[in-house]
């Protein structure tokens, strides 16, 4: 089911193995202008068609509109012209347009295709963006089938005049980050009868076996013994017990300690407060937060970033049964805080606070949790923008800066004190739910109760952009998107010594 690993190579010139060449079209003050077109190809096309590549492209409908793709005939290999927008191209424009071009290319081929991307990229950030865009656009989930469905992207070459060490490093970073995003996508797309807490935990462990990451997995017995009341309650209704996966990457000399926490509900039926059928179908994606933090931690380790990262993935399957937890149950979270459960379909926050409370014991310099947490966040921000709530504005700004650099869309929301007051309980220390209005803020206020006062914290609600159930666009496929992986890797890089 997993996608095969793709290679990215930085080259100065094309080789004979290239099947498809992607070049760009930008809007200048003088009109459209092609970028990245080899002069010898211009000459051969003029000889063959009696017109320039630009004339041929415009005749065939090429536009400077970002991600607009046009195919041109050539003698040696397919030529693809992709719009890049205005001449002052940004890394995100390169990422999105490259992805759109690659996706269009592989949709036309049954066999693996060797692609060269030539957009006059010399700046390292542009090279990284092109590498990411190519691999993200080439993503395909391998179907669960006894017939072959091989990857259609064979390899990627980024054509650049600069092959300096920093340029090669940029291509390497782009490939590693894109691979991490694709790993998260694979996990999200895997059917829930195949990806459940135990198999997810083992898959995560297998992913990092060749890295400098220490792995600890707590099964349901260990979770009960150690007082993880959120995980054991939420996972209690399923025949498949919960798991808590802990990754620890601690390179020598790293001074900043970042803790990542991810919601890993491998399937969410809603429990006894069961979801309607239409709302349940895509709930294999409810472990997107855990997928993001695990994949990002692996990428940070592979890149050798000088930052200490401890990652917690809280995994459970939320099912109704005679052993399921109930609305109005009182649960004891790791560390001793008691919670009055308001709704069994608000299960994500319960597994998260177990992991957050445990992460606080590590005394990190910052905690970031990632979760497909609330439908309310989708109501507020739609399906393409994730919510961000934080303990303070400085922490929010640090994460938002990383998101901007990574090209992912987050929007900061508040956690007002009056919402926090609504979580007071008559029978326990705190209630897990509050007013329906401002539901994303209520959930964040609940999580904040379990963060130590002296630890900066940010909460990323990715419920909207974690799963795309409509047609692909830019570098986003149908299905799991791997959102937040790029932001977390950029965050780790920004916190290095």
The domain boundary residue, chosen from 158, 178, 209: 158
Which is higher by pLDDT, 50 or 19? Answer: 19
Q: What is the pLDDT of residue 222?
A: 98
Q: How far is CA 231 from CA 142, 415, 444, in A?
A: 31, 25, 18
Tell me: do 415 and 284 sit in the same domain.
yes
Nearest alpha-carbon partner for 495 in 365, 363, 307: 307
Tell me: do 213 and 153 sit in the same domain.
no
- The confidence band for 146, taking pLDDT boundaries of 50, 70 and 90, is confident
- The confidence band for 51, taking pLDDT boundaries of 50, 70 and 90, is confident
Tell me: do 193 and 127 sit in the same domain.
no
pLDDT tens digit sequence for 260-274: 999 999 999 999 999
Tell me: do 217 and 319 sit in the same domain.
yes
pLDDT tens digit sequence for 438-490: 999 999 999 999 999 999 999 999 999 999 999 999 999 999 999 999 999 99
Tell me: do 191 and 142 sit in the same domain.
no
Q: What is the pLDDT of residue 45?
A: 79
Provide the CB-side half-sphere exposure for 309 (13 A, CA): 34
Could you list the beta-strand ranges (E) of 378-455.
386-390, 410-412, 430-431
Which is higher by pLDDT, 3 or 186? Answer: 186
Tell me: do 203 and 89 sit in the same domain.
no
Q: What is the pLDDT of residue 171?
A: 96
Tell me: do 87 and 204 sit in the same domain.
no
Q: Does residue 173 form part of some domain?
A: no
pLDDT tens digit sequence for 186-241: 999 999 999 999 999 999 999 999 999 999 999 999 999 999 999 999 999 999 99
Q: Does residue 309 form part of some domain?
A: yes
Tell me: do 142 and 200 sit in the same domain.
no
Q: Does residue 181 form part of some domain?
A: no
Q: What is the pLDDT of residue 89?
A: 93
Which is higher by pLDDT, 38 or 486? Answer: 486
Provide the CB-side half-sphere exposure for 480 (13 A, CA): 32
Q: Does residue 246 form part of some domain?
A: yes
Tell me: do 191 and 125 sit in the same domain.
no
> What is the average per-residue pLDDT within 231-259?
98
Our count of domains for the chain comes to 2
Q: What is the pLDDT of residue 145?
A: 86
The domain boundary residue, chosen from 121, 143, 158: 158
> What is the average per-residue pLDDT within 126-137?
97
Given a cut of 70, is residue 411 above it in pLDDT? Answer: yes
Whole-angstrom Cα distance, residue 159 to residue 122? 9
Q: Does residue 457 form part of some domain?
A: yes
Q: Does residue 283 form part of some domain?
A: yes
> What is the average per-residue pLDDT within 333-337?
98
Given a cut of 70, is residue 5 above it in pLDDT? Answer: no
Tell me: do 401 and 471 sit in the same domain.
yes
Tell me: do 12 and 69 sit in the same domain.
yes
| Residue 253, number of CB atoms within 10 A of its CB | 8
Per-position DSSP letters for 189-236, written without gaps between them: HS-TTTS-HHHHHHHHHHHTTTTTEEEEEE-HHHHHHTT-HHHHHHHT
Q: Does residue 136 form part of some domain?
A: yes
Domain CATH code at residue 107: 3.40.220.10
Q: Could you tell me which residues come within 8 angstroms of residue 212 by beta carbon, excluding any fewer than 6 positions away?
A: 249, 251, 301
Q: Does residue 317 form part of some domain?
A: yes
Q: Which domain holds residue 77?
A: 8-158
Domain CATH code at residue 220: 3.40.630.10
> What is the average per-residue pLDDT within 309-328?
98
Q: Could you tell me which residues come within 8 angstroms of residue 322 by beta carbon, excluding any fewer than 6 positions away?
A: none
- What are the catalytic residues? 275, 349
Q: What is the pLDDT of residue 250?
A: 98
> What is the average per-residue pLDDT within 370-385?
97
Q: What is the pLDDT of residue 475?
A: 95
Given a cut of 70, is residue 4 above it in pLDDT? Answer: no
Q: What is the pLDDT of residue 46?
A: 81
Whole-angstrom Cα distance, residue 37 to residue 23? 6
The per-residue pLDDT of the chain, averaged, comes to 95
> What is the average per-residue pLDDT within 95-116?
93
Tell me: do 202 and 151 sit in the same domain.
no
């Amino acid at each position: 089911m997993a996608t095969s690993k793709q290679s990215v190579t930085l080259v100065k010139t094309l080789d004979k193995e290239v099947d498809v060449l992607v070049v760009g079209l930008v809007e200048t003050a003088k009109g459209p202008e092609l970028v990245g077109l080899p002069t010898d190809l211009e000459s051969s096309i003029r000889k063959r068609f009696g017109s320039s590549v630009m004339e041929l492209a415009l005749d065939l409908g090429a536009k400077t509109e970002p991600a607009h793709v046009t195919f041109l005939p050539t003698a040696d290999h397919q030529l693809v012209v992709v719009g890049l927008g205005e001449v002052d191209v940004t890394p995100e424009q390169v990422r999105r347009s490259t992805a759109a071009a690659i996706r269009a290319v592989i949709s036309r081929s049954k066999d693996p295709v060797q692609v060269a991307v030539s957009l006059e990229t010399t700046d390292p950030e542009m090279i990284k963006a092109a590498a990411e865009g190519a691999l993200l656009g080439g993503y395909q989930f391998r179907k669960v089938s006894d017939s072959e469905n091989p990857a259609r992207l064979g390899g990627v070459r980024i054509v650049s005049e600069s092959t300096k060490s920093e340029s090669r490093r940029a291509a390497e970073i782009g490939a590693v980050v894109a691979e991490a995003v694709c790993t998260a996508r694979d996990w999200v797309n895997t059917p829930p009868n195949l990806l459940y807490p135990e198999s997810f935990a083992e898959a995560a462990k297998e992913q990092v076996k060749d890295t400098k990451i220490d792995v600890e997995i707590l099964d349901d017995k260990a979770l009960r013994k150690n007082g993880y009341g959120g995980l054991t309650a939420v996972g209690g209704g399923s025949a498949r017990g919960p798991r808590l996966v802990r990754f620890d990457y601690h390179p020598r000399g790293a001074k900043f300690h970042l803790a990542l926490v991810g919601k890993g509900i491998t399937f969410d039926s809603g429990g006894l407060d069961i979801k309607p059928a239409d709302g349940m179908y895509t709930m294999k994606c409810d472990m997107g937060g855990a997928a993001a933090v695990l994949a990002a931690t692996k990428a940070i380790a592979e890149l050798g970033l000088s930052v200490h990262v401890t990652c917690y993935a809280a995994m459970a399957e939320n099912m109704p049964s005679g052993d399921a937890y109930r609305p109005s149950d009182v649960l004891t979270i790791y560390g001793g805080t008691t919670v009055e459960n308001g709704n069994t379909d608000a299960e994500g926050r319960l597994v998260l606070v177990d992991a957050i409370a445990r992460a606080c014991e590590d005394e990190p310099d910052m905690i970031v949790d990632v979760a497909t947490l609330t439908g309310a966040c989708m109501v507020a921000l739609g399906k393409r923008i994730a919510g961000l709530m934080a303990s303070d504005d400085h922490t929010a700004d640090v994460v938002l800066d990383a998101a901007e650099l990574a090209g992912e869309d987050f929007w900061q929301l508040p956690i007002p004190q009056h919402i926090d007051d609504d979580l007071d309980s008559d029978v326990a220390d705190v209630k897990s739910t509050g007013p329906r209005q401002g539901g994303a803020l209520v959930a964040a206020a609940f999580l904040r109760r379990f963060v130590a006062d002296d630890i900066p914290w940010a909460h990323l609600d990715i419920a909207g952009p974690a799963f795309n159930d409509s047609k692909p666009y830019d570098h986003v496929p149908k299905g799991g998107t791997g959102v937040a992986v790029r932001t977390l890797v950029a965050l780790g890089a920004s916190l290095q010594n």
